[in-house]
Amino acid sequence: MVRLQKFLAEAGIASRRASEQIILAGRVTVNGKEARELGTKVDPLHDRVAVDGRAVHRKKKLYIALHKPRGYVCTRQETEARDLIGELLPKEWSDLFSVGRLDCQSEGLIFLTNDGDFCLKLTHPRYGIRKTYVAMVDGKVEREMLKKFTDGIEDAGEKLQALRTRLISANNTTSIVELELAEGRNREVRRLFESQNLVVRRLQRVKIGPIKLGELPAGKWRTLTETEIKSLLSKL
C-alpha cells in the first residue's frame, strides 16, 4: 500500500506536492469514489485510480538530460511561444515534465522526467541541489562585486546569494563569470548582475549537482545513467 499522492507522483502525473493539490481539488477517484484525503492509501496492483476520469497507471520512470537552446520555453503545454522544449523530445514522451526551469533566453542543462519524487527532491530549496552557470556580461566585473554575490544581496524582498563565484575573464567590454547557486530563485543570476547595473548577454547552465552538460550539443538529449541518478540522490 502506498499513499495516493506518492502513487500519482510515481505515475508521472505531477510532483508529490502538486499531486496533493490535485487530490484536494477532488479530481482523483479510487475504485470510482472521490478521494480527497491526503492520507488515502492505494494498492497499485488492485485499486483503480483515475484523475479527471482518466485511468492512472504506474509508468516506467524516465530521466532525461537536455541541452536547452536559447529561445525555447520550458513547457510541453501549448502556449503562444514559438519554440517549446517538448518539440526537442520524442512525441511518445509527452508525459515528461521539466525539473525546474531555465528562462527563455537562458540555455544549457535541464532534466526532464515522469518521476514526481525525483522532481521534488531536485527542486525543493531544503535539498539545496547545487547548479553551476556561466554568464557572459556586458562591462567589466570586479572581484569585489563577486564578493557581494557570495555575501548575499537583497532584491524584491528576497536574498539572492551565490555559494561560489569564479571570474573566468574580464576586460572593459565583456566579462565571463562562473557562479554556483543552490536556491535557484527566479532569474537569480540575472538579478544578481542587474543589482550592479550589469546586463547578462548569455547565460548557460553547465552543471546540476555532479552532472555536467559536457559536450551535449544544443537541442540534443540523452538518458541519465543509473549511476548518475544515484549520484544526484545520494546527497539528499
**pLDDT higher at 84 or 151:** 151
Residue 111 has pLDDT above 90, yes or no: yes
pLDDT at residue 127, as a whole number: 82
pLDDT above 90: residue 183: no
**Which of the residues 47, 83, 95, 103 is marked catalytic?**
103
Nearest 10 degrees: Cα torsion 161, 185, 87, 224: 60
**Cβ atoms of residues 99 and 110 within 8 Å:** yes
**CATH homologous superfamily for the domain 2-55:** RNA-binding S4 domain (3.10.290.10)
DSSP-assigned beta bridge partners for residue 99: 111
How much is the pTM?
0.79
Domain ranges of the chain: 2-55, 63-126+213-233, 130-208
Q: Given the C-alpha cell 555532479, which residue does it identify?
A: 210
Pick the CATH number of 63-126+213-233 from 3.30.70.580, 3.30.830.10, 3.30.70.1560, 1.10.1740.10: 3.30.70.580
CB of 71 closer than 8 Å to CB of 104: yes
Residue 47 among the catalytic residues: no
pLDDT confidence of 14, banded at 50, 70, 90?
A: confident
130-208 CATH, one of 3.30.2350.10, 3.40.50.720, 3.30.70.580, 3.30.70.20: 3.30.2350.10
Coil vs helix vs strand at 144: helix
Question: According to the model, what pLDDT value does residue 80 have?
Answer: 64
Q: What is the pLDDT of residue 10?
A: 80
